[in-house]
């Protein structure tokens, strides 16, 4: 007979035989004992539990008296099938006492749409989506090499220890030297915080800097995740329109605690904030005491001309908060990013982060640091940028040929094209009809703040789709768009 799960507690005040009886009863009710097979004999149980046989006999006697078990001569003791249902019902878990929804905290972003993140996107032949990567172009060999190296000395401690609130100093140094300098930003070690992506950076900033009495300006249309995060702090969020030169600046930002911008390639339209507006934004913000967050999520991807310097590079006061991420080039699944800001703020954010997640995983931090240090990171980035440029050129050309309206030229950067169809195009319908043809594109109306947003916008991402699939996907998308417009 296999061992039972019965255990006795010799330190308990409950007599041993009662403990045995209770556990047998529970095991019968929960189906641990198969009712078709005999229960363990008193000899077997006594030996297993190292108790006197009499203790087990007493337990079985009580169960026999109550009719829970039956004794069949020479065959042993069995569960009484008639009692089984009754015992099970008694043991059955009753309805929850807690009304869970009423106990959960409610946030002010209820009803604001979420960016649709489809788990099955890679099963579609033409996934024109922006938030994922083509996994085949991930620099796997270099990454594996770095991961392995990060586990051996002198890197093992950095990879495996609990660093409490600290970041990997080598990664901070690599970001400082190899990544920020390329964006024209100078920062000290104590002005950088590693995050598990820009999203965590935004969340930490929201928790630390915002509350219900604050007003926050965001781009309209703009990044939905930022909108959610700011609303969840209780702050009042309002939209500032975007045109072909980026954010349309108001005369003043007085009364606005914080402004969130994506100057390199505005999300979702991809336009670049003009130099003149960058300077003016910094001036107005300084005059109004408004904090500026610059989300530089895909500055690596510039396909013509030189990339514009970061807003933070123009910031003479050092107050601009800068968010960077490794999600767009390396992978959004690695969850690594960073935040640059004044040392005293970084110190507090580190404390907030400590009581959430302590720190981003040490192993991935050190591996990334080693990958940057070895030169593999920048080699892979150059290769990837060339691939993305090819995709952008193909797409911009094909958009002109396949889509029945002309919107060229497209801003030469980013990981997506923002499409504005004719007013009679219903892009929500386009998205669903295209999906039937295996083509995934993203609806655009959800990025607007107004209650009746334009319905003729959508996004064609090219970070995830293999280059060879772009042409056929665009032809299919174009056919669907033409059909829809012809029906109107």
Ligand X SMILES: Cc1ncc(COP(=O)(O)O)c(C=O)c1O
Min. distance of Cβ 427 from ligand X in angstroms? 19
Min. distance of Cβ 268 from ligand X in angstroms? 8
Q: Which residues contact 18 (CB under 8 A, 6 or more apart)?
A: 59
Between residues 33 and 230, which has the closer beta carbon with respect to ligand X? 230
**Residue 414 binds ligand X (CB under 6 A):** no
Q: Which of residues 291-350 bind ligand X (CB under 6 A)?
A: 295, 297, 325, 327, 332, 337
Between residues 35 and 361, which has the closer beta carbon with respect to ligand X? 361
Reading across the β-sheet that carries 337-340, which strands appear in turn?
Answer: 192-195, 337-340, 321-325, 291-295, 258-261, 215-220, 236-243, 246-247
Q: Which position's Cβ is nearest ligand X?
A: 197
Q: At what angle do helices 198-209 and 343-354 cross, to 10 degrees?
A: 100
**Residue 198 binds ligand X (CB under 6 A):** yes
Near ligand X by CB under 6 A: residue from 127, 197, 221, 246: 197
Between residues 4 and 132, which has the closer beta carbon with respect to ligand X? 132
Q: Which stretch binds ligand X (CB under 6 A): 29-37, 137-145, 192-200, 350-358?
A: 192-200
Between residues 80 and 272, which has the closer beta carbon with respect to ligand X? 272
**Residue 269 binds ligand X (CB under 6 A):** no
Min. distance of Cβ 115 from ligand X in angstroms? 8
What kind and span of H or E run contains 47?
Answer: helix 42-49
Q: Which stretch binds ligand X (CB under 6 A): 133-141, 191-199, 311-319, 356-364?
A: 191-199
Alpha helices by DSSP H, 105-139: none
Q: Which stretch binds ligand X (CB under 6 A): 8-16, 100-108, 193-201, 406-414?
A: 193-201
Between residues 256 and 262, which has the closer beta carbon with respect to ligand X? 262
* Beta strand pairing call for 337-340 and 416-420: unpaired
- Beta-strand ranges (E) seen in 25-114 are 69-72, 76-79
Between residues 145 and 335, which has the closer beta carbon with respect to ligand X? 335
Min. distance of Cβ 236 from ligand X in angstroms? 21
**Per-residue burial over 382-406, b = 16 or more CB atoms within 10 Å of its CB, e = otherwise:** eebeeebbebbeebbebbeebbeee
Between residues 42 and 299, which has the closer beta carbon with respect to ligand X? 299
Alpha helices by DSSP H, 339-447: 343-354, 362-374, 376-402, 427-436
Between residues 332 and 444, which has the closer beta carbon with respect to ligand X? 332
Measured distance between the N- and C-terminal CA atoms of the chain, rounded to whole angstroms: 76
DSSP annotation of 178 reads I
Min. distance of Cβ 202 from ligand X in angstroms? 8
Q: Which of 271, 266, 257, 265 is nearest to 219 (CA)?
A: 266
Contact 339, 322 (CB under 8 A): yes
Distance CA 372, CA 382 (A): 13
Q: Which stretch binds ligand X (CB under 6 A): 42-50, 197-205, 366-374, 395-403?
A: 197-205
Distance CA 227, CA 57 (A): 68
Contact 359, 338 (CB under 8 A): no
Contact 258, 217 (CB under 8 A): yes
Near ligand X by CB under 6 A: residue from 227, 228, 267, 278: 267
Between residues 42 and 264, which has the closer beta carbon with respect to ligand X? 264
Near ligand X by CB under 6 A: residue from 40, 127, 131, 414: 131
Tell me which residues touch ligand X (CB under 6 A).
131, 197-199, 223, 262, 267, 295, 297, 325, 327, 332, 337
């Amino acid at each position: 007979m296999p061992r039972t799960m019965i255990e006795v507690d010799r330190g308990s005040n409950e007599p041993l035989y009662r403990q045995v009886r209770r556990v047998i009863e529970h095991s019968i009710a929960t189906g641990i004992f198969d009712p078709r097979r005999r229960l363990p004999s008193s000899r077997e149980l006594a030996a297993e539990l190292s108790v006197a046989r009499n203790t087990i006999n007493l337990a079985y006697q009580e169960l026999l008296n109550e009719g829970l078990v039956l004794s069949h001569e020479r065959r042993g003791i069995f569960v009484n099938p008639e009692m089984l249902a009754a015992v099970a019902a008694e043991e059955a878990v009753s309805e929850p006492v807690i009304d869970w929804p009423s106990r959960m905290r409610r946030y002010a972003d209820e009803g604001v749409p979420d960016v649709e993140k489809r788990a099955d996107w890679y099963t579609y032949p033409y996934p024109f989506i922006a938030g994922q990567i083509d996994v085949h172009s991930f620099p796997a060999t270099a990454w594996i090499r770095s991961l392995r190296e990060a586990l051996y000395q002198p890197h093992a401690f950095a990879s495996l220890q609990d660093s409490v609130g600290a970041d990997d100093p080598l990664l901070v140094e690599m970001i400082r030297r190899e990544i920020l300098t390329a964006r024209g930003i100078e920062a000290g070690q104590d002005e950088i915080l590693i995050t598990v992506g820009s999203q965590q950076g935004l969340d930490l900033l929201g928790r630390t800097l915002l509350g219900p009495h604050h007003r926050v300006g965001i781009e309209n249309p703009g990044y939905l995740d930022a909108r959610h995060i700011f609303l969840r702090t209780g702050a009042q969020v309002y939209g500032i329109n975007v045109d072909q030169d980026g954010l349309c600046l108001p005369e003043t930002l007085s009364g606005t605690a914080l402004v969130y911008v994506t100057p390199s390639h505005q999300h979702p339209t991809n336009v670049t904030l003009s130099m003149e507006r960058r300077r003016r934004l910094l001036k107005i913000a300084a005059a109004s005491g408004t904090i500026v967050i610059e989300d530089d999520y895909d500055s690596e991807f510039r396909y013509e001309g030189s990339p514009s310097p970061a807003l933070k590079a123009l910031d003479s006061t050092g107050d601009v908060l800068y968010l960077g991420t490794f999600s767009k080039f390396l992978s959004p699944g690695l969850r690594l990013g960073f935040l640059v800001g004044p040392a005293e703020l970084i110190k507090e954010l580190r404390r907030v982060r400590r009581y959430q997640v302590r720190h981003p995983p040490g192993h991935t931090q050190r591996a990334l640091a080693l990958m940057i240090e070895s030169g593999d990171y920048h080699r892979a980035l150059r290769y990837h940028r060339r691939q993305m440029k090819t995709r952008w050129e193909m797409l911009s050309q094909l958009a002109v040929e396949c889509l029945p309206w002309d919107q060229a030229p497209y801003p030469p950067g980013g990981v997506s094209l923002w499409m504005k169809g004719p007013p009679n195009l219903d892009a929500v319908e386009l998205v669903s009809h295209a999906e039937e043809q295996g083509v995934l594109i993203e609806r655009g109306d959800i990025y607007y703040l107004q209650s009746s947003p334009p319905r003729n916008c959508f996004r064609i991402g090219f970070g995830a789709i293999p280059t060879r699939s772009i042409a056929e996907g665009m032809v299919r998308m174009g056919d669907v768009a033409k059909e829809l417009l012809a029906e109107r």
